[in-house]
Amino acid sequence: MLCYYLVMKKIITCIVCNKFLIGRQTKYCSPTCKNKTNQSYHLQQARGWKRKKLAVKKLGGCCSICGYKKNLSALTFHHKNPTKKYFQLDIRSLSNRNQAVINTEIDKCILVCSNCHAELHYPKHNLE
């Protein structure tokens, strides 16, 4: 009876470990195999930093106000027109979005360091 069943049914295997699937399983044999195909936090972070480095290079590589260029973490994207802002350009959004959408958003920004960014948003707090 088992041979007849295997001939009549299509044999499907797990796309990760190639074990035979049973019952209602269609791609994975276990939750462990399913999770192996997902992006880990570490990989998302690495992709986000890589894309930020490319975006910073596209916008000149240094703060457009003071010229700071020492640390990638200190450089931020400032939207020239906040009303046309579609999403915030942080590491998480850079890692999870389509590159074409990211490039469109980058074109709406200028590159500034953290200090200059704070001065742009809060000019009334200047001490001078």
b/e per residue, 31-70, with b = 16+ CB within 10 A?
Answer: eebeeeeeeeeeeeeeebeebbeebbeebeebbebeebee
Tell me the per-residue pLDDT of 11-41, one tens digit each, with 9 for 90 and over.
889 988 999 888 888 888 888 888 887 778 8
Which 3 state secondary structure label does DSSP give 110?
strand
What does the pLDDT read at residue 91? 92
Euclidean distance between CA atoms 46 and 39, whole angstroms: 11
Euclidean distance between CA atoms 20 and 22, whole angstroms: 7
Residue 24 vs residue 56, higher pLDDT: 56
The candidate with the shortest Cα–Cα distance to 107, out of 90, 85, 91, is: 85
Confidence grade of residue 3 (pLDDT, cut at 50, 70, 90): very low
Residue 67 pLDDT > 90:
yes
Mean pLDDT of 56-75: 96
Which 3 state secondary structure label does DSSP give 124?
helix
What does the pLDDT read at residue 8? 53
Query: Which two structure tokens, joined as six digits, stand for 128?
Result: 């001078």
Domain boundaries, the chain: 2-36, 41-125
